[in-house]
């Protein structure tokens, strides 16, 4: 069977998101990339519109780019300094994506999986990068109708990025637990808050590497994986966190794309604060925490499975605690940094809100249990994705 690809008469690389040329300090800059599902505005089924996809591929949609599936769009915020600025830019970007989709009678969903769609009905965007992924990874590339979120935090150099990577691994499961938005796959309730995490575990370049130590070792690993034919360059690494190849940033890929704008801001705030705190510890000579990889995988799995609805495993203390306790432990580690930057109250309020109302995954399940209709789940996702952007939908 020939690969399902969308025609693209003029293929050119995606326009890069704005990024700082030289961050003044660790965490001084912040940016977010989000991927969305394009759905029919009436039925909320995935919508494959050839003109919309071609316009996105050609860079004709201001601030909106194509993604691996023709039923996806991607946005990237400008470089931001404050959480208030990030919130504003994310709202504008979501509104821009919705306006672009509206040309085709569609709208967008900010969720990592669609509640009922099948990958067999989708096509691959005809870009060299994606066609190469198909050649290398086979059906895994075709099945990637899954959306993610990438948070970029400014760092001065790759050594700093690696130092934070080595130290942040035990804290990432709590971040993941707060972001789950992918309970359904192929129309089935998977039982996971973040099935996206489990799906990506099938790739040889996913998860977290062992501690690297320095930039030289990181480059050795990249070179080795390139020689092995697993990647072409570092941009093909799907690690939970990685040094960005294009920008002077540390790129966090651990979380699902958040349906709620509040949750998206919380996600970015937590990983930026973690970056600042752990970079300072590295400068002070604090050692990398010695945590068995099996325990890290266990913590990641529980976060993916349960979100904040049940207990989470703390790989540092090696205990199983209620999600609220795990979140409070993380906030305790970050308290001084968040207070110093005037973010403590906002971050605590946003985290408390997730604990009280649950993740996007929990809300999706509640709608399905109440209505029995996946279309109503998608309708809820569309409304919530743009809830804070409504006043901007007609903006230029």
Higher pLDDT, 24 or 61: 61
Rounded Cα gap, residues 185 and 179, in angstroms: 17
- Sign of the four-CA dihedral 241, 244, 248, 251: negative
pLDDT in tens, 218-267: 999 999 999 999 999 999 999 999 999 999 999 999 999 999 999 999 99
Cα-Cα-Cα-Cα dihedral sign, residues 71, 103, 126, 255? negative
pLDDT at 268 over 90: yes
Which pLDDT band, with edges at 50, 70 and 90, does 393 fall under? very low
Q: What is the mean pLDDT of residues 193-222?
A: 96
On the question of pLDDT at 9 being above 80, the answer is no
Asked if residue 137 has pLDDT above 60, the reply is yes
Rounded average pLDDT over 323-334: 99
Contacts of 225 (CB under 8 A, 6+ apart): 205, 231, 237
Q: 30-168+179-290+370-385 belongs to which CATH class? A: alpha beta
pLDDT at 389: 55
Whole-number pLDDT of residue 394: 37
What are the strands, taking DSSP E only, across the chain? Answer: 30-40, 64-66, 72-76, 106-109, 149-154, 184-185, 188-189, 206-207, 238-239, 241-243, 249-252, 311-314, 319-322
**8-17, 74-83, 140-149: which has the minimum mean pLDDT?**
8-17
Task: Tally the C-alpha atoms within 13 A of residue 41's C-alpha that lie toward its C-beta.
Answer: 12
CA-closest candidate to residue 174, choices 306, 42, 7:
306
Cβ atoms of 129 and 160 closer than 8 Å? no
**390, pLDDT greater than 80:** no
Q: What is the pLDDT of residue 256?
A: 99
Which residue is it, tokens 């993380």?
330
Q: Which residue is associated with the tokens 């399940």? A: 365
- The mean pLDDT of 92-113, rounded to a whole number, is 96
- Segment 156-179, tens digit of pLDDT: 999 999 999 999 999 999 999 999
**pLDDT tier at 8, thresholds 50, 70, 90:** very low
pLDDT at residue 215 tops 50: yes
What digits encode the pLDDT tens for the residues 23-37?
469 999 999 999 999
Find out whether 316 and 289 touch, Cβ atoms under 8 Å: yes
Residue 340 banded pLDDT, cuts 50, 70, 90: very high
Output the pLDDT for position 120.
Answer: 87
Q: How far is CA 194 from CA 135, 199, 307, in A?
A: 27, 9, 7
Q: How far from 162 is each of 159, 219, 351, CA to CA, in Å?
A: 5, 11, 27
Q: For the residues 123-138, what does the mean pLDDT come to?
A: 92
Pairwise CA distance, residues 204 & 391, whole Å: 43
Residue-wise DSSP of 66-99? E-SBTTEEEEEPPPBSSHHHHHHHHHHHHHHHHH
What pTM did the predictor assign? Answer: 0.92
Q: Which of 13-22, 50-59, 135-144, 328-337 has the lowest mean pLDDT?
A: 13-22
Enumerate the domain spans of the chain.
Answer: 30-168+179-290+370-385
| pLDDT for residue 92 | 96
The first and second tokens of residue 26, run together, are 């660790």
> What's the pLDDT score for residue 155?
98
pLDDT at position 2: 40
Residue 10's pLDDT band (cuts 50, 70, 90): very low
What average pLDDT score do residues 208-223 get?
Answer: 98
């Amino acid at each position: 069977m020939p690969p399902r690809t969308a025609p693209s008469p003029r293929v050119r690389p995606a326009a890069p998101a704005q990024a700082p040329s030289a961050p003044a300090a660790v965490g001084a800059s912040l940016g977010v990339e989000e991927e969305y599902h394009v759905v029919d505005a009436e039925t909320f089924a995935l919508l494959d519109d050839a003109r919309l996809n071609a316009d996105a591929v050609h860079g004709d949609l201001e601030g909106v780019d194509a993604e691996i599936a023709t039923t996806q769009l991607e946005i990237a915020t400008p470089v931001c300094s404050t959480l208030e600025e990030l919130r504003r830019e994310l709202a504008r970007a979501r509104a821009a994506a919705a306006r672009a989709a509206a040309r085709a009678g569609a709208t967008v969903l900010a969720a990592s999986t669609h509640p009922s769609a099948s990958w067999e009905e989708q096509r691959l965007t005809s870009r060299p990068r994606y066609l190469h992924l198909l050649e290398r990874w086979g059906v895994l590339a075709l099945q990637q109708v899954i959306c993610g979120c990438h948070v970029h935090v400014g760092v001065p150099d790759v050594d700093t990025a690696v130092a934070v990577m080595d130290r942040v691994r035990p804290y990432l499961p709590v971040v993941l637990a707060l972001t789950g938005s992918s309970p359904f796959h192929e129309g089935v309730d998977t039982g996971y808050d973040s099935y996206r995490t489990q799906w990506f575990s099938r790739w040889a370049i996913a998860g977290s590497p062992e501690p690297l130590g320095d930039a030289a070792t990181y480059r050795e690993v990249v070179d080795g994986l390139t020689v092995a034919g697993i990647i072409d360059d570092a941009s093909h690494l799907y690690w939970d966190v990685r040094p960005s190849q294009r920008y002077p940033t540390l790129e966090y890929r651990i979380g699902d794309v958040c349906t709620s704008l509040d949750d998206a801001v919380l996600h970015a705030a937590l990983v930026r604060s973690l970056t600042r705190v752990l970079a300072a510890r590295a400068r002070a000579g604090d050692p990398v925490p010695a945590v068995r990889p099996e325990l890290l995988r266990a913590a990641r799995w529980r976060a993916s499975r349960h979100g904040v609805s049940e207990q989470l495993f703390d790989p540092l203390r090696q205990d199983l605690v209620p999600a609220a306790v795990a979140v409070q432990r993380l906030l305790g580690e970050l308290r001084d940094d968040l207070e110093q930057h005037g973010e403590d109250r906002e971050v605590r309020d946003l985290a408390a809100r997730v604990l009280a109302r649950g993740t996007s995954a929990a809300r999706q399940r509640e709608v399905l249990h109440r209505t029995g209709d996946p279309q109503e789940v998608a309708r809820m996702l569309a409304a919530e994705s743009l809830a804070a952007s409504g006043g901007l939908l007609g903006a230029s």
